[in-house]
Amino acid sequence: MNLTLKIWRQKDSKTKGQMVDYKVTDISEHMSFLEMMDVLNEQLVNSGDEPVAFDHDCREGICGMCSMYINGEAHGPDRGITTCQLHMRMFNDGDTITIEPFRAKAFPVIKDLVVDRMSFERIQQAGGYISVNTSGNTQDANALPISKHAADEAMDAAACIGCGACVATCKNSSAMLFVGAKVAQYALLPQGQVEAADRVKNMVAQMDLEGFGNCTNTGACEVECPKGISLENIARMNREFLKASIKG
Amino acid sequence: MSGFFTSSIGRKYAMALSAFFLMFFLIMHVALNAVSLFSEDAFNQASHFMGTNPLIQFLMQPVLMLGVVFHFVMGFILEIKNRSARVVKYAKNNGAANSTWMSRNMIYSGLFILIFLVIHFLDFWIPEINTKYIVGDMSGLHDGSFRYFHELQHKFIPIWRVALYCIGFIFLALHLLHGFDSAFQSLGANNKYTKGLKGFGKAYAILIPLMFIIIALFHHFNH
């Protein structure tokens, strides 16, 4: 298929960017979206132009690195997938495809489609962990009885790969689905409950500090999340935060 | 609790609590207005009680005003903050693919409700305050009988006002269609009852404004 691509080009974080049009031809419907981008870049390199910078790593939907806003949706028009899992069969011959970076003040553009998502890392560092004695006397996690229901819910929350699609999709650039998933993942398990109050307070404080917007419950994040993280995690975080704030 | 209400989640709680208060008030308001469909006398009695009871006038009314002002001001503050969280807008954004129009446009439905409220206050509340507290007539009488029912009917004679009120109530319905569920979610209530609550919320969001519309139309055609 032959396509017109409208791609955001930005030299670096300090330079103003703009949308630039490119044509690609003979694209197979069996290609992944990133393979199509590879074809474009090969074309650009051959003609002496600067290739389009974009994030990618595992190309298996696991690492959460790919981060494109395609035709107005994070990770493109398909559901439950990352950009690397998007296939060209989702498009038609002659289509114009708009490709932009994930946009949020807390995700500044580094170059073209590559954004800095270190704000997520800083939120994790603020409390997204459990403190374990690793002096050689570490208790086996399986020694603690955990209900199947709690374990399943924690596992569902832990499926979050921190790609940032929730932030990119949210009209307010809110990170609450990401933070909610991380808070819930630990709050549901006995190992995480020991530091639950400090965790939620510190992670929410860091989230606010990073400049993410407020959640207004549109539910767009849940729909676009490649891992199907539920809004229930935001509700749980809200409860955990209230509980922690009352405790002081 | 220090810093709770300055946090993003604290602000969500504050918005949700003020929304619950206003949604409860809407039930009271529509119930009182609905009395006018059945009995002129009962409506007059109820209106006189509401309009002269010191507890309602000097405690409930200021609290209600505070609730309304807080909800609007907080809504606008949050909107400004949220807009500043994305400096460069998308060239193409397909919001309809993942969320409802109502959820994405609460600020606009809220703005129309605010405009409607200003008109509503000019129509009913300010003349009432003037009669009772500036002129000093607390009797509720006009030409020897209660004035409330006749004032209500008189207001809905012009079709333009009925149309304006109907538009205001449609925006109220659009606001509530997202606001009802959203308030529960903000308070952390997302559980096995959520599906049922969503159904109840839809019914509430449609029936309450519809009832207000029916009342306005009833008095237009029956004056």
Is A64:A161 a contact under the CB 8 Å cutoff? yes
Structure tokens at B23: 């949604």
The structural domains of chain B, with segments of one domain joined by +, span 8-85+104-221
Residue of B nearest to A231 (CA): B190
- Chain B residues with CB under 8 Å of A217 CB are 103, 178, 181-182, 185-186
A36-47: pLDDT as tens digits: 999 999 999 999
Query: At A201, phi and psi to the nearest 5?
Result: -65, -45
Strand partners, A96: A4
The string of pLDDT tens digits covering residues B154-179 is 999 999 999 999 999 999 999 999 99
Lowest-pLDDT range of A79-88, B26-35, B185-194, B209-218: B185-194
Structure tokens at B84: 């500043």
Q: Please, are residues A231 and A222 in contact by the beta-carbon 8 Å criterion?
A: yes
Q: How many residues are recorded in chain A?
A: 248
Average of per-residue pLDDT values in chain B: 95
Residues of B near A (CB-CB distance < 8 A)? Answer: 1, 3-4, 7-13, 78, 81-95, 97-100, 103-104, 106, 178, 181-182, 185-191
Confidence label for B3 from pLDDT (cuts 50, 70 and 90): confident
Q: For residue A6, count CB atoms less than 10 angstroms from its CB and return exposed for 0-12, middle for 13-18, buried for 19 or more.
A: middle
Percent of chain A with pLDDT over 70: 100
Instruction: Please give the pLDDT value at position A147.
Output: 95
At residue A96, does pLDDT exceed 70?
Answer: yes
Cβ atoms of A188 and A154 closer than 8 Å: yes
How much is the pLDDT for B144?
Answer: 87
Mutation for B interface: A179, A222, A238, most B CBs within 10 A: A238
Domains and CATH numbers, chain A: 3-111 (3.10.20.30), 117-247 (1.10.1060.10)
Q: Is A159 helix (H, G, I), strand (E, B) or coil?
A: coil
Place of tokens 């220090």: B2
Model ipTM over 0.90: yes
Q: What's the CA dihedral at A55, A59, A61, A64 to 10 degrees?
A: -20
Cβ of residue A209 closer than 8 Å to a chain B Cβ: no
Average pLDDT over residues B68-91: 97
Question: Model confidence over A177-222: pLDDT tens digits?
Answer: 999 999 999 999 999 999 999 999 999 999 999 999 999 999 999 9
pLDDT of residue B2: 66
Region A233-240 average pLDDT:
97
Mark yes or no for CB contact B90/A223 under 8 Å: no
What's the confidence (pLDDT) of residue A22? Answer: 98
CATH architecture of B8-85+104-221: Up-down Bundle (1.20)
Q: Which pLDDT belongs to residue A135?
A: 84
Q: Which of B90, B97, B187 sits opposite A238 (nearest CB)?
A: B187
B165 HSE (CA, 13 A, CB side): 25
Output phi, psi for A100, to 5 deg: -130, 160
Residue A247 binned pLDDT confidence (cut-offs 50, 70, 90): confident
For A108-139, write each residue's pLDDT tens digit. Answer: 999 999 999 999 999 999 999 999 888 888 88
